Amino acid sequence: MDKRTIGYWITTGLIALLFTFGGVMDLLAPPEVVKGLGDLGYPPYFARLLGVWKVLGVIALLAPGFPRLKEWAYAGMFFDLTSASVSHAASGDELAKVITPLVILVLLMASWWLRPANRTLGVLRGREVESVTPPHLSSTTA
């Protein structure tokens, strides 16, 4: 296994752990989670909604195949983390609560950047990779 693959799995594993833990906590919606979201201006039901999407995002990142779904999961996690940072900043929370999601965002971006060719949509950083278009959708069928 090369360094790039090791880096991918380390960053992806950390993201999976963080989002699984956060998603499960959101799904369980204990009082401190509901209060924390309420302090940011979000309604109580928002915890479970976030929890479902976080857990599904982790499944999408870890499952083999489905490169387009992985792109959506990365995008959703990007939106979650940047929104968390902005929400904490807008509510006047301490700097650590504003920066923590941005640190996790760096891990997420590293995972995205380091992902293997078989987990991309076809072109990665200027080099062609094997097409992931199913044969029945290809425009070159005879």
Question: Residues 39-70: pLDDT tens digits?
Answer: 999 999 999 999 999 999 999 999 998 999 99
pLDDT at position 128 is: 53
Give me the pLDDT at residue 142, please. 45
Confirm whether 109 is domain-assigned.
yes
Is 121 in contact with 71 (CB distance < 8 Å)? yes
Question: In the prediction, which pLDDT does 119 show?
Answer: 83
Whether 82 is covered by a domain: the verdict is yes
Is 78 in contact with 108 (CB distance < 8 Å)?
A: yes
Half-sphere exposure of 111 (CA within 13 A, CB side): 24
Which domain covers residue 79, as residue numbers?
3-137
Q: Which among 58, 47, 70, 51 is positioned nearest to 119, based on CA atoms?
A: 70
In a domain, 142, yes or no: no
Q: How many domains does the chain have?
A: 1
Parts of the chain with a pLDDT under 50: 131, 141-142
Q: Do residues 47 and 34 lie in contact, with contact meaning Cβ atoms separated by under 8 Å?
A: yes
Q: CA separation (Å) from 104 to 15, 65, 75, 124, 130?
A: 7, 24, 14, 23, 30
What integer pLDDT is reported at residue 1 of this predicted model?
85
